[in-house]
Structure 1
Amino acid sequence: MNKILLLLTGGAIGTIARYGLSGLTHRCFKGTYPLGTLVVNLFGSLVIGLLWGIWENGYIHTNLRTFIFIGLLGGFTTFSTYMLESLNLFRDGETKMALINIFAHNILGLSFVFIGFIMAKELLNFIRS
């Protein structure tokens, strides 16, 4: 039951944070490209990579990892929205924009996880020295 509460709480916080950051991005950068979803997913990728790098060394308790990785970041990032926005761009004849969206989420997302992981390793090395 404890894990369920961690997931519910983390998911709720992540969902509200996604709504806020995505909305802010859309208000600041108008246009047809769904930049808000990309910003949310890249930021979430960076954070999960950073925390993964720290957790790999045992610095994050299992319950905290469940709360953040599955709950908070699961509610924050959004694969289904990204897919729907890509499909809508194709439907609307924005093929180039749709392909950019797919490339950006996949290649940049993977890159941001890796960058976050490297940042964690460097941070831990700095703290230890």
Structure 2
Amino acid sequence: MTPALFVGLCLAGGVGAALRFVVDGLVRERTSGTYPVGTTLINLSGSLLLGLVTGLAASAVVSDDLRLVLGTGLLGGYTTFSTHCVETVRLAQERRWRASTLNALGTLVLGVALAGLGYALGSAG
């Protein structure tokens, strides 16, 4: 890995984290309740986009370096598995079993499906 690629990866990760903060804030302003809608939307959209970037790289539409910067950096900073897990635990502690299960399993199933869709779209060309 070149120093420039490493810097690009780091900068993209910071931008992704800032983007997550902004998107989550916008979603929180527009929704009510305690279900983590923002985190769910962020992780699902990130899964779709990472699948797309990976598919584009597999088809040689984007370089491996760009895949690394966008996938590992930007989308790695944007998505958040740890927050998803903590929010699932919080919902379970509140005995909101349906919401906890939906958050845990629904996000997993939809995330995998969206990643697959993104990959298919990216590798179709």
TM-score (norm 1): 0.90
Q: How many residues align?
A: 123
Contact 1:51/1:117, CA 8 A, preserved across alignment: yes
Unpaired runs of 5+ residues, structure 1, are 125-129
The letter for the 2-side match of 1:43 is S
User: Is residue 96 of structure 2 the alignment partner of residue 115 of structure 1?
Assistant: no
- Identity over the aligned pairs, expressed in percent? 31
What is the aligned partner in structure 2 of residue 2 from structure 1? Answer: 4
Distance 1:55 1:65 in 2: 6
| Runs of 4+ in structure 1 over 6 Å off | none
| 2:94 is equivalent to residue 92 of structure 1 | yes
Which 5+ residue runs of structure 2 have no aligned equivalent?
none
Give the superposition deviation at 1:103. Answer: 1.3
Could you tell me whether the CA contact under 8 Å between 1:6 and 1:63 is conserved in 2? no
What per-residue deviation string (whole Å, max 9, x for no partner) do you get for residues 55-104 of structure 1?
10112122211111111010000000000000111111111110010012
* Aligned AA (1:37): T
Residues 1-129 of structure 1: matches in 2 within 5 Å?
1-122=3-124, 124=125
Contact 2:11 2:73 in 1 (8 A): yes
Matched residue type, 2:17: T
Residue 50 of structure 1: how far off its partner (Å): 1.1
